[in-house]
Amino acid sequence: MFTEENLNELRITLEGKMSPKRYRHTLEVENMVARLGELYAPDKLPILRAAALLHDITKEYSADHQLMLCAEKGLEVSRGDLYAPKTFHARTAAAMIPEWYEAFAEEEVLSCVRWHTTGRADMTLCEQLVYLADYIDLSRTFEDCVMLREFFFEKKPEEMDRQERLAHLRDTLILSFDMTILALAEDGLPISPDTFEARNQLVCQRLAEQKA
Residues 105-144 contacting Fe ion, CB under 5 A: 134
Nearest distance from residue 210's CB to Fe ion, in Å?
33
Cβ atoms < 10 Å from Cβ of 20: 8
Return all residues near 207 (Cβ < 8 A) that are at least 6 apart. Answer: none
Of 37-45, 53-61, 144-152, 201-209, the segment contacting Fe ion by CB under 5 A is: 53-61
How many helical (H) and strand (E) elements, i.e. helices and strands, does the chain have? 11, 0
Looking at the Cβ atoms of 56 and 127, the one nearer to Fe ion is 56
**Cβ contact 133:95 at 8 Å:** no
List 56, 87, 177, 202, residue binding Fe ion (CB under 5 A): 56
Residue with smaller CB distance to Fe ion, 24 or 165? 24
Considering only the stretches 11-19, 54-62, 119-127, 176-184, report the one whose residues sit in contact with Fe ion under the rule CB under 5 A.
Answer: 54-62
Residue with Cβ nearer Fe ion (195 or 205)? 195
- Give CA 199 to chain center in angstroms: 15
User: Which of 99, 78, 100, 96 is CA-nearest to residue 87?
Assistant: 78
Question: Contact between 30 and Fe ion (CB under 5 A)?
Answer: no
Share in percent of the chain as helix, strand, coil (round to 5): 75, 0, 25
Query: Which residue type occupies 81?
Result: D
Whether 179 contacts 148, CB under 8 Å: yes
Using only C-alpha atoms, what is the Rg of the chain? 17
Q: How far is the CB of 212 from Fe ion (least distance, A)?
A: 36
Closest CB to Fe ion among 56 and 81? 56
Closest CB to Fe ion among residues 91, 199: 91
Stretch that binds Fe ion, among 40-48, 55-63, 103-111, 158-166 (CB under 5 A): 55-63
Total chain residues near Fe ion (CB under 5 A): 2
CA distance 136 to 89: 19
Q: Which residue number, 30 or 134, has a Cβ lying nearer to Fe ion?
A: 134
Q: Which stretch binds Fe ion (CB under 5 A): 50-58, 70-78, 104-112, 166-174?
A: 50-58
Contact footprint for Fe ion (CB under 5 A): 56, 134
